[in-house]
Amino acid sequence: MAFISSSSPYQRVRRSTSEIMLLVLLCLIPGIFLQSYFFGLGNLLQILLASTVALLSETLILILRKRPILSTIKDGSALLTGVLIAIAIPPLAPWWIAVIGTVFAVIFVKQLYGGLGQNIFNPAMAAYVLLLISFPVQMTTWIPVQSLHPFSLTVMDQINALFTGFTLDGYSVAQISTSIDGLTMATPLDTARNALNSGKTISEIFNSPEYKASSWQAIEWVNLGFLIGGLILLYKRVILWYIPIAFLAGISIFSFIAFAYNPDLNISPLFHLFSGATMLGAFFILTDPVTASTTVKGRIFYGVLAALIVVVIRNIGGYPDALAFAVLLANMCVPFIDYYTQPKVYGRGR
Amino acid sequence: MTTTPINLLSEEQLAEISSGKHWSFHGGIHPQENKQQSSKAIIKDAGIPPFLVIAVEQKGESPLLLVNIGDSVLKGQALTKATDVMVVQNASSSGTVTAIEKRTDLHPSGLPVLSVVIATDGLDRSVEYSRCADYKAQTNTQLIEKIQNAGIIGLGGAGFPTHLKLAHYAAIKLLIINAVECEPYITADDRLMQEHGDEIIDGITVLQHILKPQLIVIAIEDNKPDAIAAIKRALQKKQSSQSANIIIRTIATHYPSGSEKQLIEIITGQQTPIGKHPSELGIVMHNVGTVFAIKEAIIDGKPLTSRIVTLTGEAFRKKGNVSVRIGTPIQYLLDKYEFTPTASQKLIIGGPMMGFSITHGDVPVTKTCNCIVAPTLQEMPESPPEMPCIRCGECAEVCPAQLLPQQLLWYANSKDNSKLDEYNLSSCIECGACAFVCPSHIPLVQYYRIAKAEISSAKQQAEKAEIARIRFEHRAARLQQAKLDRQVKHKQAAEKRKQQLQETNGGEDLIAAAIARAKAKKQATADPSDAPADNKKDAVAAAIARAKAKKQAAAEHSDAPADNKKDAVAAAIARAKAKKQAAAEHSDAPADNKKDAVAAAIARAKAKKQQALESTQINTEINPENSAAIAARKARKEQARLHKRQDLPAQIIDTTIAEPQTIDTTIKASDDKKTKIAAAIAKAKAKKIAQKDQ
Amino acid sequence: MSERQTEVTTQQIPPKDPAVSYTEIAWQGVWKNNPGIVQLLGLCPLLAVTNTVTNALGLGIATLFVLIASNTLISLIRSYVPQAIRIPIFVMIIASLVTCVQLLMNAFTYELYLSLGIFIPLIVTNCIIIGRAESFASKNSVKYAAFDGLMVGLGFSLVLILLGASREILAQGTLFAGIDALLGDWAKELTLELYHADSHFLLAALPPGAFMIMGLIIALKNKIDQRVSK
Amino acid sequence: MLINIAIAIFTLGILGAIFGAILGYSSLRFKVKSDPIVEELDAILPQTQCGQCGYPGCKPYAQAIANGEDINKCPPGGDAVMRQLAERMGIEPKNLEGEEKPKLIAFIREDQCIGCTKCIQACPVDAIIGATRQMHTVITDECTGCALCVDPCPTDCIDMVPVVLTTQNWQWDLNLIPTKNSTER
């Protein structure tokens, strides 16, 4: 009788790539929950839209590339990309923002480089940068925290706003984004930057009414949500500690140096850690295995490099948040980092 | 073989080791062990199978056989002769040698190697073993030779000849007994230690006598408490000055701690430098099974004729460890221990991490076969389809050699051998930890094995190419030299003649010579055709004369063709024709201008055919097999010819048939005589060759 | 038999036909060896100025003119140029021609001259021109050289225009905006407004967009070639 | 105006003369005489010395490639060697001329050998040993598989046989494992 011939090892760990992706998606839930709690259901709508588009464009490109469809879709990487883009864009951004971003991420950044495992750049962040550069207005218009809404927004209102730009009552997104006292809402980092540019010091900004009216508390909570999700990922060993710790430590150290140098012009380390997309980036974006460094030393260096870029751009650059740029720039350095941080092979001496 | 050790362990390091400190290695995994399936039952004898297949080829080389087909052999009788590197293969039961042929080996490739097949008589009569209680009176060389004659190789799995490992006895500081058995499922060493602790300690003292190490460490994983206890008991029994420096080191269960290099790192904290042998550090390691075999060989005088094999996996009804005679067909074990195959059944030789699968049971148990795993599909499911590498780096985390498996995969896929070398593929120990953890189910080890095999064959080819280049250059130089030599010889000959001529004239004085020369000159002007005027002319004339004489001789003998080159061309054409038959024969003809050559060639071809026919007949008488081969070749040629013909349009065939006649007639018309002569020569030649062959 | 036949046929085929023909030059210049999307030469102006069709057309015409003129001149003097110093001589000729073009554009299409800016003098360093001079004009007769200049220039201009058009449509929703700067006031009519939207795809107007669209054009060309070869 | 033009022409002329002089000098001074590329190309070639490329050996072919000969004329090297050559020469890979065959070595059917030494003379790497009227044999380790000995043999007793697959040179192809006991006599 003939037996099956196959290659060793015959025992394997039973965790697959798709399970990893699924775990990452599950760990995003606390952050997403908090985000939609503060900013309304628009966020969930964006996620629904972006994931649908991600799966559709993945299917389309796989047909064009004549690759197996079902098994590739099942790996969950396209879904994850879609969700990450949706989290990053403003909740009531027009529908085509999410569509363009997702299509670009899946087709251009991932599949045109050869599919899962081959892309140089993080698809979600590359798409975010594309959107930010191309559509700066839509991408920086955040709606205020729900408690500060001048109008009450129903689910239908939000769906309508997303697809037509107006609520059922005929208010435009721009109008929604303007809070009670007529100030345009933006992210705390945005607000701080604008105020800095107009010559105020940090302490003045933090005490100013427009800052207090901004969604800074909400953003802090959201960051906390992603931190919790990230810690679960660490506990489950889906991600390894090197990158998040290196990145967060880097952010703290670099921003502390800047803060110590001039506290009037530079925001504090704590503010850095809990604003913008710091936690999302540390645990969910930078740790994307495909585009991150793979050696131990390399991962630490990669995290620190990204942190340095983030702090530099946030403090002296032209954009309020810099995570996406930092990720892309660090991605570019990965082959170089990997090459120079190879571990010493057994027997090469210590 | 002897290396000059430079990194020997120092006294402090040895003290540190014996004080109980131990280290760890990078990476590693914790697979499911499943050892309890087979570790409880005591070792049974598997019995005598109806026939034994003992592979005698070692590393691709066949040793000198000491038996012939039909010989009756006894258990323990040597089948092969030992050479420097090869150990003796002994018969593992008594019986008759029924065949010496290539049989499938217990090797992942399933390829056959030269084997001796013994039909057993069931009596298990053995040669007389000479017990030797006082081995200490013997020299190391004698003991090592005894081990070689007992056919002992490393029984842990790699199968490195033990006598070679022992040959480095000069500078050994630390002897490690590898009883780690880190592979899941396998319990052969575990059981052996539980049941034969005393013998193992005896074996260790034999090794201690040969190697004289300062320290002996028995390394056992902590998942074998019974074995540890047994060895401890045995050691206490032996409590004497000898066992003072033998320590038992219990190490944490952690795959692949049983790998030689990793175990050395655990015990000593030292890494074996790349491309170096552990003996460089003054360390030698022996498997506990090997130690047991050494004890039997030296003290009891028994050669290695059986080994302990773990039969495990849910598809075996009767699991456990059995003592199996080397050469027992695995099918016999499967039948005896109630193996019930399930859907898509696998049969794994060795452990599930580093073992290999075999496709059928008609292979013999060899000395390195420590375990047969027959898992059910639930136990070890088929690996899910391979997905793209997401560079998660899990593999690098667990790699005990601290390689970057994801980079190696990349370069293995792109067949970039220089990059693979740069990333130290050769340091891979193929432990399978990377593939074990890979979430994309990539069979990394398989890729590395293929890449390694390709690299080694590329290396071999490069070496071969280099040799070929050197040989080619030597040959070119030699031919050039021969040409020069010929020229020099000719020159020398010419000069010699010159001298001779001078000598004949040399008796007279110079003036007379000058006068004579002047006279000769005058004469030469008068009669230029005959008397040479000066030496140069003379030489030329001589040469011409020689040439003429040669020609004449050639004509007379009517044998040697005037021009070798022409002959070669003609011969080549003739051969081509003989091969291509009439149609091809003809298309060649117009290409050749010299009609006589053509005719000669045709004639020769005919003669050759005849000769071929004759030789076939001769061969039929001498060697039936060969004639069959020739017949097959002929048939193939005929087929090819027919095939060609079918391809050709009818017209071409017509013309090709028509043309030879026209040519023949033209030849006949113009040069009838020459043709006939040439043909005659050719026929004569053919006849001669035919006669010679007879 | 068959062996012999193939031998004969291979012998009959001449090794390589060095003779040039007009169709071959045209085919090579415009499609097969297009300087822009196959040889990837002159990427600097190609990516920098193609944000509108007008700019692309202006630079295309300027390059085309310089190419024809330089190819002709170099072909004329090719047998008098010492091998060792041919490159400085070619550059000198090209530089003079570019200066002429720059002065002409300054005189007649001033607005375009301003918007193209540094990229007009940079034509001197355009690899396409020196490349054609070195590899073709200096080895072939005048008529072929001039035709080669025309065809290569045409191939380059076509890529410029294609890129310019796609970027203009994506970024501004218009076509031929500002064409009057090149062709005079009458051409104002040519400007098309294809669609109007609150927000345009700004990226297309920026250099990264140029790279991406360029990549897509190259992919398209390769796809067509693949189709044809099948 | 005229003076301006004259100045321009003069300046450019001087510049041209200076740079021309520098270039002319360096083209003589830094002239590369020998071509190390031939050695490198020779190292890539498989050294079968089979002459299938039309050159009498690998070195001459390497020389020819350096002089612009096609890189696709080495069937024993196959696609891999052609690609290496293409990379070294910085040119596009081409389709191989002639087909790539599996590796073969010569085998003399010794009972039919008449000891004519013709194959010995033909062998480019001296891989056949024997003497006149003595049986010849091929040193398998040295044979490059060039098949140059096959044609000169007057008794057609040389066969090109494929290299036998053994456990030593097996390349881990799991799909080729026989599922039956293969017994060879």
Computed on alpha carbons and rounded to an integer, the radius of gyration of chain B in Å comes to 39
Residues 6+ apart with CB under 8 A from C10: none
Q: What is the mean pLDDT of residues B442-455?
A: 92
Amino acid at site B79: L
**Distance between CA atoms of residues B468 and B475, nearest Å:** 10
Closest-CA residue of C relative to A133 is C203
Cβ contact A21:A77 at 8 Å: yes
A3 contacts on B by Cβ (under 8 Å): 341, 345-347, 357-360
Q: What is the pLDDT of residues B556-590, one digit of tens each?
A: 554 444 445 555 555 555 555 555 544 434 444 44
pLDDT given at position B610? 61
With 90 as the cut, is the pLDDT of residue B605 above it? no
CA dist list (Å): B295 to A211, B126, B196: 85, 19, 11
ipTM greater than 0.90: no
Measured in angstroms, the CA of C9 and the nearest CA of chain B are apart by 15
Please give the Cα distance from A82 to A67 (Å, whole number).
20
* Number of residues assigned to chain D: 185
Cα–Cα distance, B325 to B364 (Å, whole number): 10
Which conformational region is residue A260 in: left (phi greater than 0), alpha (psi within -120 to 50 degrees), or beta?
alpha
**In this structure, which amino acid lies at residue D33?**
K
- B108 vs D contacts (CB less than 8 Å): 170, 172, 177
CATH topology of domain D104-162: Alpha-Beta Plaits (3.30.70)
B78, β-bridge pairs: B90
Structure token pair of residue A280:
């999302």
Say yes or no: B653 contacts chain C, CB-CB below 8 A: no
Residues of D in contact with A5 (CB under 8 A): 174, 177, 179
The answer to whether D171 contacts B453, with C-beta atoms less than 8 Å apart, is yes
CA dist B200 and B294 (Å) reads 9
Span B340-347, average pLDDT: 86
**Average of pLDDT values for B653-670?**
42
Q: Which residues of A touch B343 (CB under 8 A)?
A: none
- Cα–chain center distance at D179: 39
pLDDT value of residue C13: 37
Tell me, yes or no, if D48 comes closer than 8 A to chain B by beta carbon.
yes
- Residue B535: the pLDDT is 54
Which of A205-214, B199-208, B493-502, B649-658 is least confident?
B649-658
Question: What is the residue type of A132?
Answer: L
* Chain B residues whose beta carbon lies within 8 Å of the beta carbon of residue C1: 580, 583-584, 587, 644, 648
DSSP state of A285: I
Cα B442-B447-B449 angle, rounded to 5 deg = 135
Q: Contact, B5 vs B276, CB < 8 A?
A: no
Residue A163 CA to residue A160 CA, distance in Å, equals: 5
Nearest to D12 among C82, C85, C92 (CB): C92
Strand partners, B513: none
**Cα atoms in the 13 Å half-sphere on the side-chain side of A319:** 18
Residue B102 pLDDT greater than 70, yes or no: yes
Give the Cα separation of C206 and A58 in Å (integer). Answer: 27
A17/B440 touch (CB, cutoff 8 Å), yes or no: yes
Residue from the list A134, A136, A137 with its beta carbon closest to the beta carbon of C201: A134
d(CA A132, CA A90): 11
Instruction: Decide: A103 and A61 in contact? Cβ < 8 Å.
Output: no
So where are chain D's domains? Answer: 37-89, 104-162
The per-residue pLDDT for range A190-221, each reduced to its tens digit, is: 767 777 777 777 777 777 666 665 666 778 88
Q: Do D174 and A5 touch (CB under 8 A)?
A: yes
- Residues 313-332 on B with a CB inside 8 Å of A are none
**Which architecture characterizes domain D37-89 according to CATH?**
Orthogonal Bundle (1.10)
Position D60 scores a pLDDT of 87
Choice among A139-153, A297-311, B187-201, C156-170 with the minimum mean pLDDT? A139-153
Q: Which of A258, A42, A240, A47 is nearest to A159 (CA)?
A: A42
CA distance D107 to chain B (A): 14
Contact map slice: B 170-229 vs A, CB within 8 A: 184
B196 burial via Cβ count (<10 Å: 0-12, 13-18, 19+): buried
Q: Which pLDDT score, from 0 to 100, does residue B604 have?
A: 62
**Do residues D108 and D157 touch, judged by C-beta distance below 8 A?**
yes
Q: Rounded to an integer, what distance in angstroms lies between the CA atom of residue D61 and that of residue D55? A: 6
pLDDT reported for residue B77: 92
Q: What percent of chain C has pLDDT over 90?
A: 23
A134 and C212 in contact by Cβ < 8 A?
no
Using the Cβ of D112 and the Cβ atoms of chain B, whether some distance falls under 8 Å is answered with yes
Query: Rounded to a whole number, what is the distance in Å from the CA of A293 to chain B's nearest CA?
Result: 9
SS (H, E, C) B172-202: CCEEEEEECCCCCCCCHHHHHHHHCHHHHHH
Q: How far apart are CA B329 and CA B120, in angstroms?
A: 12
Classify the C-alpha dihedral B479-B484-B490-B496 as positive or negative.
Answer: negative
Residue C2 predicted with pLDDT over 70 = no
pLDDT at B640: 52
| Chain B adjacent subunits, 3+ CB pairs under 8 A | A, C, D
Question: Distance (Å) from the C-alpha of residue C86 to the closest C-alpha of chain D?
Answer: 9
C83 in helix, strand or coil? helix
Distance from CA of D68 to the nearest CA of B (A): 23
Query: pLDDT at position B679, please?
Result: 61
List chain B residues with CB under 8 Å of C4: 587-588
Instruction: Judge whether residue D81 has pLDDT over 60.
Output: yes
pLDDT at C92: 86
Choose among B60, B363, B465: nearest Cβ to D47.
B465
Q: What is the DSSP track for A127-181?
A: HHHHHHHH-HHHHH-PPPPGGG-SS---HHHHHHHHHHSB-TTS-BHHHHTB-TT
- The residue whose two tokens read 């010699």 is B496
Nearest CB among A108, A133, A135 relative to C199 is that of A135
Checking if the pLDDT of A238 tops 80, the result is yes
Out of B459-463, B636-640, B667-671, C18-22, pick the least confident: B667-671
CA dihedral A76, A80, A83, A84 (to 10 degrees): -170
Q: Tell me, what's the pLDDT at B192? A: 94
List chain D residues with CB under 8 Å of C87: 23
Question: B159 contacts in D (CB within 8 Å)?
Answer: none
Alpha-helical (H) ranges within chain D are 2-29, 37-44, 58-66, 78-89, 118-122
pLDDT surpassing 70 at residue B470: yes
Chain D residues within 8 angstroms (CB to CB) of chain C? 12, 16, 19-20, 23-24, 27
- Please give the C-alpha separations between residue B450 and each of B346, C125, D172, in angstroms, as whole numbers: 21, 50, 5
**CA-based torsion, B362, B366, B368, B372: positive or negative:** positive
Of A9, A240, A347, Cβ closest to residue B274? A347
Reply yes or no on whether the pLDDT at B663 is more than 70.
no
Q: Which of A131-145, B506-520, D15-29, D150-164 has the lowest mean pLDDT?
A: B506-520
Indicate if the pLDDT at residue B109 is higher than 90: no
In chain A, which residues have their Cβ closer than 8 Å to the Cβ of C208? 133
The residue ranges of every structural domain in chain A are 16-185
Q: Which residue has the tokens 């030393």?
A: A297
Question: Is residue B446 pLDDT above 80, yes or no?
Answer: yes
From chain C, the residues in CB contact with B588 under 8 A are 4
Which residues 83-112 on chain C approach chain D with CB closer than 8 angstroms?
Answer: 84-85, 87-89, 92
- Spatial CB neighbours of A101, under 8 Å, sequence gap ≥ 6: A50, A85, A89, A127, A128, A130, A131
Q: How far is A290 from chain C (nearest CA, A)?
A: 22
Using CB atoms within 10 Å of the CB of residue C1, give its burial: 0 to 12 exposed, 13 to 18 middle, 19+ buried.
middle
- Nearest Cα of chain A lies from the Cα of C148 at a distance, in angstroms, of 35
Q: List CB contacts of B360: < 8 A, sequence separation 6 or more.
A: A1, A2, A3, B104, B110, B331, D179, D180, D181
Asked if residue D152 lies in contact with residue D119, where contact means CB atoms within 8 angstroms, the answer is yes
Instruction: Concatenate the DSSP letters of all residues of B254-300 into one string.
Output: -BTTTSHHHHHHHHHS--PPTT--GGGGTEEEEEHHHHHHHHHHHTS
**Cα–Cα separations (whole angstroms), residue B48 to B55, B325, B328, B486:** 17, 7, 8, 72
Mean pLDDT of B483-504: 87
Residue B375 and residue B346 in contact, taking contact as beta carbons nearer than 8 Å: yes
- Quick one: tokens of B610? 């005849």
- For the ranges A203-207, A233-237, B103-107, D2-6, which has the lowest average pLDDT? A203-207
Q: Tell me which residue of B667, B548, B685, B661 sits closest to B597, measured CA to CA.
A: B667
Give the pLDDT confidence score for residue B167 in this predicted structure: 83
